Amino acid sequence: MKSWTCIENCGACCKFDLHEREDILDVLDEEDLKLISKMTGKDGWCKYFDKENKKCKIYMDRPHFCRVDKFSNSFNEYKKNRDKFLIKCCKQHIESIYGKKSDQMNTFKNKINSK
């Protein structure tokens, strides 16, 4: 069985439009939404994401919604499908940002297939 894992040099989850993921609005409170708005730049990327090095500048102090291992528990589909849900979400997000045949997608697929 494939296991989800985060990959280095990606950061796809650091760029998102709240309107693209309606299900996320069900699990974020008003305070979270305000924080996301403050953290998001005009280009849609988190202000704390170093785009050149593809690293989070506040990794150790990142908010709860940036911690996939904990935040994923907020979604009913995760509770039912675990890694399948996370893999599907990552594939969709990586494809929308970097492309279906991107280095990030290839790395992600290789990583989850090797576990």
pLDDT of the chain, 115 residues: tens digit per residue = 688 888 999 999 999 777 776 677 777 889 988 999 999 999 999 999 999 999 999 999 999 889 887 787 777 777 788 888 889 989 998 999 999 999 999 999 999 988 6
Taking only Cα atoms into account, the Rg of the chain, rounded to an integer number of angstroms, comes to 14
What pTM does this model have?
0.81
Residue linked to tokens 């697929």: 109
Are residues 62 and 56 in contact, defined by beta-carbon separation less than 8 angstroms?
Answer: yes
Are residues 93 and 16 in contact, defined by beta-carbon separation less than 8 angstroms?
Answer: yes
Question: How far apart, in whole angstroms, are the C-alpha atoms of residue 55 and residue 74?
Answer: 25
In a 10 Å sphere around its CB, with 0-12 CB exposed, 13-18 middle and 19+ buried, how is residue 74 labelled?
middle
